[in-house]
Amino acid sequence: MRVWTVRFDVRRFASAFLVDESNQILEFMPEWPDFEGQRLADTWQIPRMKIKNNKPIANFTDIDPGILICDSFALENLGEALESEVEVLSIENVDKIDMYILNVVNLIDCLDEDNSEIEYFSSGRIMNIQSYSFFTENLNDTMLFKIPQFSRTEIFSTDSCRNQVLRSSLTGLTFAQVYSS
């Protein structure tokens, strides 16, 4: 089994920004949730989003680490397979592009800290992971997941999700292999 980090190809594709009612980019949105693997649909307030038009628009768009934004084509190609692992949240896109947040709610405590190379803060919290090791028995039938140690910033994929993205020719994501068993 291989595990990959999921990132956005910000060099080649446009990013998204949250905007206010007058379409001005928001530098900070105090009510923006942390997206740490919790379900948000019950309290979700639909945000306004704008695509920065300096690059081509991909099927997946960058807005913040740890958050996936995709168009309806990507949702059609991945939605059913990811049904139990993500929560689909609506966005008001002022550019009239049909996009959604895929909130990864599949939080799995599968990091094998003893066999990973980890830098810790003096408080004992993890600062950085140079080399990952996972308890792969916890990842059977998993496509996308987060780990509690980096639930705000990292999204991980198994081969099944990565292969589906590649087979469907979906654009905007990059995958970096971080583990192989």
**Both tokens assigned to 169:** 């020719």
Measured distance CA(2)–CA(118) in Å, rounded: 19
Each residue's pLDDT tens digit, 79-124 = 788 999 999 999 998 888 899 999 999 999 999 999 999 999 999 9
DSSP secondary-structure letter at 113? G
Residue 15 has pLDDT above 90, yes or no: yes
> What's the number of CA atoms in the CB half-sphere (13 Å) around residue 18?
14
Measured distance CA(174)–CA(9) in Å, rounded: 6
Three-state secondary-structure class, residue 48:
strand
pLDDT of 30: 74
Each residue's pLDDT tens digit, 148-177 = 999 999 999 999 999 999 999 999 999 999
pLDDT of 131: 97
pLDDT of 80: 85
Q: Average per-residue pLDDT in the chain? A: 93
pLDDT of 178: 97
Is the Cβ–Cβ distance between 52 and 17 less than 8 Å?
Answer: yes
Each residue's pLDDT tens digit, 51-83 = 987 899 999 999 988 999 999 999 999 978 899
How many other CB atoms are found less than 10 A from the CB of residue 41?
11
pLDDT of 138: 87
Report DSSP letters for 52-107, one per residue. Answer: -TTS---SEEBSSTT-EEEEHHHHHHHTTTTTTTEEEEE-EETT---EEEEEE--B
